[in-house]
Amino acid sequence: DIQMTQSPSPLSASVGDRVTITCRASQSISSWLAWYQQKPGKAPKLLIYKASSLKSGVPSRFSGSGSGTEFTLTISSLQPDDFATYYCQQYSSYSRTFGQGTKVETK
């Protein structure tokens, strides 16, 4: 199975900060990567798919990049609503594995 590793975890930041989360795949997954946001007690929410495509309705401060084995999720200016846990997921293989998650917490 393809393993997904996220860093850092956790991530301490302040409102207004530029935040970058990295996700690495154990083998090439082309651009078949999604990012999700999850808040406590809630279901995950899809933010980005195909590494860099923003889902409709998701604020433009979120962006994704990368291909092959290394990917990043960037929040250009962290807002109070963005404190949450973020997961990457590969869908290159039928075993659609998630990263372990990165919790963005208040510095």
**Footprint of other proteins on this chain (CB under 8 A)?**
1, 32, 34, 36, 38, 42-46, 49, 55, 87, 89, 91-101
Nearer to other proteins, 55 or 61 (CB): 55
Pair of tokens at residue 3: 């393993």
Nearer to other proteins, 17 or 98 (CB): 98
Tracing tokens 């809630």 back to the chain, one arrives at 42
- Smallest distance from other proteins to CB 16, Å: 28
Cα dist from 61 to 41, 64, 76, 91, whole Å: 24, 10, 5, 24
